Chain A
Amino acid sequence: MTTTAEPTTEIGRARVRKEDQRLITGRSRYTDSITPSGTVHIAVVRSTIARATINSIDKSEAEKAPGVFGVYTAADLGAEEVGLPCAWPITPDQKAPQRPVLANGRVNFSGEGVAVVVARSAAAARDAVELVDVDYEPLDPVLDMEAAAQDGAELVHPDLGSNVSATWVFDSAAAGTGGDVSEAIKAAEADDDQIVVRRRFRQQRLIPAFMEPRSCVVDPTGEQLTIWAATQVPHILRTMTTVTLGVPESKLRVIAPDVGGGFGGKIGVLPEEMLCVLLAQKLGKPVKWTETRSECMLTAHHGRDQIQDLVMAVRKDGTITGFDVHLYADMGAYLGLVGPGVPILGAFMFNAIYKMPALRFTCSNVFTNKTLTDAYRGAGRPEATFAIERMMDEVAVELGRDPVELREQNWIKHDEFPYDTVVGLTYDTGNYEQATQRAMELFDYAGLRREQEERRRSGDPVQLGIGISTFTEMCGLAPSRVLGSLDYGAGGWEAANVRMLATGKVEVTTGASAHGQGHETAFSQIVADKLGVGFDDVEILHGDTQVAPKGLDTYGSRSLVVGGIAIVNAAEKVIEKAKKIAAHLLEASEDDIEFANGQFTVRGTDKGKAIQEIAFAAFMAHDYPEGMEPSLDSDAVFDPENFSFPHGTHLCAMEVDTDTGRVNLRRYVCVDDIGNVINPLIVEGQVHGGLAQGIAQALFEEANYDESGTLVNATFVDYTLPSAADLPSFTTETVSTPSTTNPLGVKGVGEAGTIASTPAIVNGVLDAVRHLGVTEIEMPTTSQRVWRALQVAKGHQAQQTPSDTHSPGAGLGSIDPNNPKGEVQ
């Protein structure tokens, strides 16, 4: 059994994905494709009203319908006291309402479950839903988060006494990580050499809109209840099912089979999942739930939805002296699993790549009668990045500076790493100069500025704007102690197990559960390199608590930088064990054994054995060292010491048709520093997809409620996701300053594109029309909004400003003569 291993250099190779063969041939296994014999189906009766008390529920017609097993309310299931978990109490006094599995006497958002029908088929269940007659007493809905936060507002949950769930504050002065913001602003106001820039930005509500609707099957026919779920978090779902329903954790097996996207949208613990468990236990039959797309839009958690009030103090030479951030964050009607913490994840990113002496962050989480909000790709960090990157452009405009140059003045220089930021994080590595320089080259920044100037001069109906975002983010969630200090209800470690099989193949389990990220491929590359085995000899197993029993799942760009490192560490342990057996078999001292490319050799000799031979020897166990177990298999749990801080420079060219308001993304260039790259193909895919989602926030998507609290974008007709025809091809590159906080030197990439791109686009749109008097356009920057902003600007010009006013902006002008101090309220 001699193997001649070729030197493997899998890391860095653009491997096509292992996962794809079955997915491109239809040999997939998404949850809705799983139907054990005897499965019954549920459909949920949902409130059509945002806020109401329930007078009565008449189930009698539905119960008589053909194929119906039963119709149940929370009371019928004995579940009135059950509350879905919130794992992130951001303050000790956070107000948290019970989030019921089915409404108890009142509904708090349109779409909330009121009763559940169990029937022989999904169609029969759906038919019977229409026969359930719910008598509501409508109440005025609470819809405006800012108004809701004020004293005397109508209360979503009267028993809580306030719509403000919690107010969380970080103050660099109090934390000892920086100065006092109030002092900085006061000083700036009193100083002719400083300006104070105040802005309000709105982060509209978004819908994650993963392509696979959520689904769940619970099979009670074994000793363990088996739950298949379209979830990002099978391990968390298992623990939380225990916490929520009291089913012993050891009696639960959760499987996340193929999962069709998540983007944070599938990290919840769902009322419907808990209903399936309760009903499977009650009926002794497998129970299945698959939502319709409309249900998904209405009830799956939404993302973003913040009002950001920002005050920045800046010296006229461009140096930032303080940044004060106040947020309202709309929680919706209830608190999601990690919903309250989402804005807090952004708290540490408002300073971004810049040196700031003082920062204060205050966030009020507010209840409204809307669908709850929780993590959506980037979770808190896109909002923060938008705020700071938009602010940098605003400051550049106020000071008449080039926005790139102003950023460079304030950013951390490459020779200043590691750098302790104003919020107490330590950025390990980065090189903003390098990424920016490369991006500017690829983009032809100077050429596009010339074209912009030409279009302005000629009064071209299509104006050109250049958008910039030099972002960083903290990801790779996360050091457990840091999470503990933020009162997060779990750690941030990840687990792995590496097993050498008797025949030389390798099985690896990871607690990071994939739903499109390509774990099977990237992790195989890592293991192949570490163990010196073939890429195809490695099998990555995940997404089943019986197979990979320990894990904290996939979110926050953590799979590689936490889960991948756990795999590396487990592989190191395999090698250590194998070394002992190799030394024993080769009759050499362990100190003389060298390992490379899958071969254990005795230093200075040609004697050696392949790792597969050692694995077989361990399996046979006929001859192995005293005092050790005959096994190479190893576990590791990795708890990172720091976050990962990818960064990058994103540039876009936006064309605005001033006649119609239509915005066209003409060119997008980004250069991201994500440290070492395991698989450039996968990285490129993550960046592309991230960009599309961030761009969609800037240009296309918005979840709107009407005055009665009804979601008006409840289908894909109304929630305008971009298709291929709505996006261009992007120019993406990477540069690398390897992370020094993990052995692979890697940084997270999954959220980077989304975090970076939104402010770049909006900065670009504004840059195109700012000289026409437009100062702000809310997202999404639809043609109507752009046109309206232009109309307002024209009106303003007609009354107050001569049309040839020298306009500040984009470094091509100076300070607005109409507003010399540059202070904008």
Chain B
Amino acid sequence: MTEVRVTVDGVNYADDVEPRMLLAQYLRETLGKTGTLIGCDTSNCGACTVSLNGQSVKSCSVLAVQADGAEVTTIEGLARDGTLHPVQEAFRECHGLQCGYCTPGMIMAAVDLLGDNPDPTEQEVREGIEGNLCRCTGYQNIVRAVQSAAKTMKPGAAQPTEQAAPVAGGGN
């Protein structure tokens, strides 16, 4: 067992874990953060994408012990003070999800993409989320959602008038 100290969605944790435990498993099984999902074993699908020290990573391809000392944000920690992140809001408004399984990873990847490139073209969005597979949507509405979120997030852009319902993230 190795100790790992990590901040996840604003809460500090210290746990003894097996070195082989994947960050994705640590989030799901040890912390009960089942909002982060696992879809493959080869780091292709991206369902498990979280933010690790501000960068998107596939948490199935990071050991929990490698996250020692890090700050992790999952889909459950994205909404703040009951307000959805604009990317979350845009996924709903644009019908960017169907079964929802790729969605947490897709949203986390999109958040990272927009942090990097606040005004991406369609092609840049498509390439920016190429590490995340979706089998339901054909990606079109996901791309639309990311571009729509980019507009909302632009400095000075009006916030959406129809504000989100309170978020019940964080629990499970």
Contact = CB atoms under 8 A, between A and B. Distances in A.
Interface of A: 16-17, 19-30, 32-33, 123, 209-213, 258-261, 263, 292-294, 515-518, 681-682, 684-685, 688-693, 715-717, 721, 723-725, 727, 729-730, 753
Interface string B71-101: 0001110110000100010011101011111
B100 A516 contact: yes
Given A21-B165, A727-B138, A293 B76 contact: no
A206 to B, nearest CB: 12
Contacts of A724: 125-127, 129-130, 132, 134, 139, 142-143
A690 B135 CA distance: 9
Main secondary structure of the interface of B (DSSP, over half): loop
A123 B45 CA distance: 21
A448 B169 CA distance: 50
Contacts of B64: none
A692 B139 contact: yes
A212 B37 contact: yes
B35 A30 contact: no
Q: Which residue of A29, A209, A515, A724 has the most chain B CB atoms within 10 A of its CB atom?
A: A724
Nearest to A290: B38
What's the interface size class on B, roughly?
Answer: 35 or more
Contacts of B165: 21
Given A26-B36, A727-B126, 13 more contacts: A20-B97, A24-B84, A25-B84, A25-B88, A27-B35, A28-B37, A30-B101, A210-B99, A261-B136, A293-B40, A293-B45, A721-B135, A729-B143
Q: Which residue of A33, A292, A682 has the most chain B CB atoms within 10 A of its CB atom?
A: A33
Contacts of B97: 20, 23-24
Contacts of B93: 16
Nearest to A685: B95
A20 B134 contact: no
Interface in B122-172: 122, 125-127, 129-143, 165, 167-169, 171-172
Nearest to B165: A21
B124 to A, nearest CB: 10
B41 A688 contact: no
29 contacts: A17-B92, A23-B100, A24-B103, A25-B169, A26-B75, A26-B104, A27-B35, A30-B101, A123-B18, A123-B20, A209-B135, A211-B47, A211-B135, A260-B101, A261-B101, A261-B135, A293-B40, A294-B41, A689-B98, A690-B138, A691-B138, A692-B137, A693-B138, A715-B40, A715-B42, A716-B40, A724-B130, A729-B122, A730-B138
B34 interface: yes
Nearest to A294: B41
Given A24-B88, A516-B136, A685-B95, A717 B130 contact: no
Nearest to A293: B40
Contacts, number: 186
B125 to A, nearest CB: 7
Contact of B41 (A32, A292, A516): A292
Contact of B133 (A26, A211, A715): A211
Contacts of B42: 293, 715-717
A688 B45 CA distance: 19
B6 interface: no
A26 B135 CA distance: 18
A126 to B, nearest CB: 11
Q: Which residue of B41, B130, B139, B143 has the most chain A CB atoms within 10 A of its CB atom?
A: B139
B133 A723 contact: yes
Contacts of B132: 723-724
Contacts of B131: 723
Given A25-B75, A25-B78, A717 B44 contact: yes
Nearest to B35: A26
B95 A684 contact: yes
Interface in B12-65: 18, 20, 28, 33-42, 44-45, 47
B59 to A, nearest CB: 13
Contacts of A212: 37, 39, 99, 101
A684 B144 CA distance: 13
A28 B169 CA distance: 10
A25 B129 CA distance: 19
Given A27-B35, A260-B37, A693 B135 contact: yes
Nearest to A15: B95
Contacts of B167: 21, 25
Q: Which residue of B107, B138, B172 has the most chain A CB atoms within 10 A of its CB atom?
A: B138
Contacts of A24: 75, 84, 88, 91-92, 97, 100, 103, 107
Nearest to B122: A729
Contact of A721 (B34, B88, B133): B133
Nearest to B34: A33
Nearest to B105: A211
Contact of B134 (A211, A517, A518, A717): A211
B114 interface: no
Contacts of B37: 28, 30, 212, 260
A263 B34 CA distance: 24
A682 B141 CA distance: 11
B44 A715 contact: yes
Given A25-B76, A25-B78, A689-B135, A211 B92 contact: no
Of all A-B residue pairs in the complex, the 8 with the closest CB atoms, nearest first, are: A26-B35, A516-B99, A260-B101, A23-B100, A692-B138, A688-B138, A716-B44, A33-B34
Nearest to B79: A25
A19 B122 CA distance: 26
